[in-house]
Structures are given as structure tokens and as C-alpha cells.
Structure 1
Amino acid sequence: MTSTTTPRVAVVTGGSGGIGRVAAERLATDGLAVAVAYAGSPAPAAEAVRAIEKAGGTAVAVKADVADEAEVAALFDAAEERFGGVDVVVHAAGIMLLAPLAELDLADFDRMHRVNVRGTFIVGRQAARRVRPGGAIVNFSSSVTRIALPGYAAYAATKGAVDAMTLILAKELRGRDITVNAVAPGPTATALFLEGKPDAAVEHLAKMSPLERLGTPEDIAEVVSFLAGPARWINGQVLYANGGVI
């Protein structure tokens, strides 16, 4: 007898690189069909899809600016048309521009606000409307909201907004059987994080954790997988995935 069970479906923003890509690959390994959303060059997204398919998974790449309401709606339309619905939304897209508060260019502040805050709001709005019962919404915060590193004020402020939206949306979805949580990584060894940092600075950040190393994208993807699947009794939380920094 042929099974009629269809796979669960995930939309992963920022899925073409860094933590987002590893999370997309992990969810595909978990058996979900994945819509890999990207904002820039199509080549990395196509590479992510090929990697998922080579490993036996199912994926499609969809271009979408997370701060553009029409493009995000079209992203969810594409996932529904290709795979039949949406069960998990992992909103990993974000940007980080660093400088002391007194020196940060306001254009950089506005750019981060557009992507990190407005983007989370728009993706969350579509997720709240579209995710099926039994589903999960996973936003990306940052441990820097509590570590309070100098130079991170504007970035941390955008992630504080993500925390607030996450906790409130979880309550607004009462009765829907949908969990809403955020993952707050600590220092994690991605190309974006390591770029421009001297070795001494990287070593210092690695030593902040009692485990005395940087996190890896795979460490964070493991938390995403947990929240997207078996963690049905964790809801309205910010999980600090940072090796014990705080």
C-alpha cells in the first residue's frame, strides 16, 4: 500500500547561507520539504537546494525581501503551491552593522531596523496567517541582548524587538496549536561573524563560554530542529544557544 502521508513543509528565510542554510539542511534531513528564501544572489540559494536534494531531501529556492510585504506573501504562496502548505517558519534573515552608539550612521540603524524588525514583523504576520495547526514559528534573536557587548547597541535593540514580537505572537495564536519561539545564538563561527575580526578578538569571544569554543551553525540548527519538531511544550520563549556565556 502506498502511503498518502505528505511531508511537513518549512519556509526558511536567510536560507542560502550561514546559520539559515545549515538550519534548512537540518530540517530537510528531518524530513521536511523546505522553501529556501533568499534576498541576494540566486547562486548560493541554488547551491543550498542542490545540497539538500543530493542528501535525499526536497527543496525549492524563492527570492524574497523579508521587509517587502508583497514579496513575503509571494514566498508563502510559492511554498503552498509547491508543497501544499506551511508548517514551520524559520526566520533567520537578518543583518548586523556594528559601531558604538554615538558613532553609528543612522542610515545603518535604519537599514537594520528595516530588515531585522520590519522583516520579522512581516514574516511573522504571514506565518500567523498561514502556518497549519501543529506548526512552529522560530525567530532569530541574539544573546547580545543580555551579554551587552560594546558596539552592539543598535543591533541588540533590533533583536530586543524580535524578542517582544515572539513572546506576544505566541499568546495571540492561542487555540491554534502553533508554537512561537526565538533562538538567541551567542558567538557563532559563521563567515559573516568572523569577517574582519582579528584572531585575538575571536579567541576572546571563544573563551567567553565555559565550553571554551565558538558555537557552530550546526549547534544552532540543532536547536531550530528541536523547536520545529518535538518541542511542543516550549512556547513563547527565547532560547539562549550560546554554550553558557550567560
Structure 2
Amino acid sequence: MTKTALVWGASGGIGLALVSLLTANGWQVVAVARRTKSLVGLTSHVYEVDFSFPTSLQSITTQMFQEGLQVDWWIYAAGDIMVAPLIQMSLEQWQQILNANLTGVYLALHYSSPLLRPEAPVYFLGAISERIRLPGLSAYAAAKAGLEALAEVARKELKRPVVVVRPMAVNTPLWQKVPFKIPPNAVEPDVVAAKMLEAYHSNYSGFLDIA
């Protein structure tokens, strides 16, 4: 039986790598993203969504349900980043980062949970949160730390594998949004995707650190 993966944030660096890897391995991929142009031709199940608007997520998950989709692997790989001093950051900027990295997780899982098969694991793309508490990253660091707490509770409530993927530096377009220099040992998105697929096959649950 063909397995189905639901990838939120499918057009980002890691999300796109996941879509490519899974389709190459015979998966049916349901790809959700704010911008979908890069997904054309990779999968026939592409949905455009604005993670800032709950009604947008509710609408597409209702559509998925009506189409009879059932999910074997749920992945939230969406995210955003900016650098701004805490005192100078506007409420809109704070909400933008929290919406993409934390509130979006709640909304996506809240609305799409009826699509999950009983054994389907839930994966969140996090970060090694203790390493990103740097000046200017208050919203991003708070969101990723909050994501880890959310995951621990979700694991107890959902009674299914819940994984927070915590990669070190990854060579994705997000680096273009920050004034930091990308480390020379940054891993490629396809490496992260392969490690995630390996963890899926081993029924892993917990924090998945990828160096």
C-alpha cells in the first residue's frame, strides 16, 4: 500500500528535500506551502496556505478530508526567522515569527488530526534551542523552545510517536534573512530529510539531533 506524508512548509529548504525524497521512494506526498511554484511537477497534491490565518488552514484540511486523504506521516517543516532587538521589535514582527514556528504547528495539527492514521507519527522541525538564544533572535528562540514543550505534551496526549527534529546549521534560504555567516559545517537539506526518513522507519520518538 502506498504511504502518504503530509508536509507543511513543503516549499522551504528541508520541506522541499522531504517532498523530493519521499516521492522518489514511492510515497504519496500532500504538500502544503505559502508559495507552491517550486512544488509543481513533484506531487499532484499541492495546497497553498497562509499560516497566519486559521481559516486558511481549516479550509484546506477540510478539502483534504473530503478527498479521502489518510496520513501515515505528519510533518511540520514550515518556519520563518528575523533578527530584531526585543525592545525594538514590533508586535507584528513578533507575531509573524510565532505564527510560522509555533502557532502554525497548533493550527495545522488541530485541524488536520482527523486525517492521521492511528500509527502515524508527528514530526516538528525545531532547532537546538539552547544554541540559538542569541541577541536579536528572541522571538525565534522562544518559538523553538515552546515547540519542544508542546511536543512533550503532545506525545502524552496523542499517544503516538512525536519527534522534534533539531538540526544544527542547515544550508537553506533562511540564512539570507539573518546577518550571521553560515557555518562551514552546515548540512544540506537532503541530509536532514534522509535522517528523518530513517527515524520514521525506526519508529523513533523524542528529540532527533542532527549534526
Structural mapping, 1:19-30, within 5 Å: 19-30=14-25
Q: Alignment partner for residue 189 of structure 2, among 182, 196, 217? A: 217
**2: CA distance between counterparts of 1:197 and 1:98?**
8
Aligned to 1:129: 114
Asked whether the 8 Å contact 1:10–1:33 carries over to 2, the reply is yes
C-alpha RMSD over aligned residues: 2.2
State the one-letter code of the partner of 2:209. Answer: Y
Aligned to 1:43: 37
Structure 1 gap ranges (5+): 53-57, 207-212
Asked whether the 8 Å contact 2:69–2:115 carries over to 1, the reply is no
Aligned to 1:239: 208
1:130-161 per-residue CA deviation (whole Å, 9 max, x = no partner) reads 21022111111112x11133322220101111
Percent identity over the alignment is: 22
Q: TM-score, normalised by structure 1?
A: 0.76
The offset of 1:44, in angstroms, is: 2.3
Structural mapping, 1:42-191, within 5 Å: 42-46=36-40, 50=41, 52=42, 58-82=43-67, 84-143=69-128, 145-147=129-131, 148-174=133-159, 178-191=160-173
State the one-letter code of the partner of 1:182. Answer: V
**2: CA distance between counterparts of 1:164 and 1:196?**
25
**Residues 1:84 and 1:191: Cα distance change in structure 2 (over 3 Å):** closer
Structure label with greater radius of gyration: 1
Q: How many residue pairs were aligned? A: 210
**Residues 1:30 and 1:136: Cα distance change in structure 2 (over 3 Å):** farther
State the one-letter code of the partner of 1:180. Answer: V
**Residues 1:103 and 1:171: Cα distance change in structure 2 (over 3 Å):** same
The offset of 1:90, in angstroms, is: 0.9
The offset of 1:190, in angstroms, is: 1.1
Structure 2 gap ranges (5+): none
The offset of 1:76, in angstroms, is: 3.0
Secondary structure at the residue paired with 2:201? coil
State the one-letter code of the partner of 2:188. Answer: T
